[in-house]
Structure 1
Amino acid sequence: MSQLFQRNISVEAQHIDQLGHVNNLAYMQWMQEIALAHTEHLGLGLNDYLQMKHAMVASEHHVKYRKACVLGDKLILRTWLGELSGFSSVRHYLFYRPQDDAVVFQGTTLWVCVELATGRAKRLSPTFSQTYQPLNADIDPTDFRIEIV
């Protein structure tokens, strides 16, 4: 079973839009970065994808902006794997601001396995289906008292 994965970040000037809060694109970038870092942590990186000649690519995103973030906010970006099918995997995201105990963002991405040469959907290889296992049901991903190393 896969476990929770997280990174701590600080909101910087490049993340802020004209309204003075974090730009929507920054959240998408953080989703991408934490997903890739988690995948590498699980043992699958870009070189592995190239060698296997297939990779997981984003097919759809669902996001919910719950509270605005501003310059200097400290955030915990958390991700974990969910439902797994023959061709895809769902990844969940939860971004948390400890200073006011607030979940500021939630999202999911449907990742689909594709052949790199053709871009066509491909059944998950055993490497992928073994690596992209859903989060253990006993773990509450919304409990930020859980220490993650």
Structure 2
Amino acid sequence: MSDIFDLRLTVKPEHIDILGHVNNVMYVHWMQDVALAHIEELGLGLKEYIELKHAMVAVEHYVQYRKAALEGETIVLRTWLNDINSLYLFRQYAFYRPSDKALLFVGNTKWACIEIDTGRPKRMSPTFTQAYQPISNEKDPFDFTQYDAS
């Protein structure tokens, strides 16, 4: 069973756009960053993809920007898997600012399994389906109280 995965970061000047807040494209970039960190922690990252000759690639994103993030702020990038089948896995994201308990961003990505050499769809191997499991229904992925005392 996969778990909720968090990655903390501080907003840097290069994340900021002309309007003075985090550029919208950065959120999609952070979706990729936190997903990559999560799969590495699960033991099935990029190195293993190459060895197994198949990989997961993003085929669809949904994003919702809720509040702006500003330079110098610490935010939590959270991700978890909420569904999987033989070809696809579905990853959720919630980005949170502990200083004011604000949910900044939510999103999800549909990932497809492909053969690396051909780019064609491929059923996930047991190695993938064992590593990539949805979180328990008993967990609330929007519970950020562990950060609220910071």
Q: Same fold (TM over 0.5)?
A: yes
Aligned residues: 147
The residue number in structure 1 matching 2:73 is 73
TM-score by length of 1: 0.96
Amino acid at match of 2:51: Q
C-alpha separation in 2, matches of 1:7 and 1:116: 28
- The alpha carbon displacement at 1:78 in A equals 0.5
Corresponding residue number in structure 1 for 2:142: 142
Letter in 2 for 1:40: E
Question: Aligned partner of 2:12: which letter?
Answer: E
Instruction: Give the root-mean-square deviation of aligned CA atoms.
Output: 1.0
TM-score scaled by structure 2? 0.95
The question of 1:30 aligning with 2:52 is answered no
User: Residue deviations 1:50-98, cap 9 Å, x none?
Assistant: 1111000000110000001111111011100011111010001000001
Aligned partner of 1:51 in structure 2 is 51
1:125 maps to 125
* Letter aligned with residue 85 of structure 1: N
Where has structure 1 moved over 4 Å in runs of 4 or more? none
1:4-35 Cα offsets, whole Å, 9 max, x none, are: 10011111100000011100111111110100
Q: Matches of 1:114 and 1:130 in 2, distance apart?
A: 17
Shift in Å, 1:146: 4.4
SS in 1 for 2:32: helix
What is the Cα deviation at residue 37 of structure 1? 0.4
Residues in 1 aligned to 2:144 and 2:34: alpha-carbon distance in whole angstroms: 17
**Structure 2 residues without counterparts, runs of 5 or longer:** none
Could you tell me which residue of structure 2 aligns to residue 2 of structure 1? 2
Identity %, equivalent residues: 53
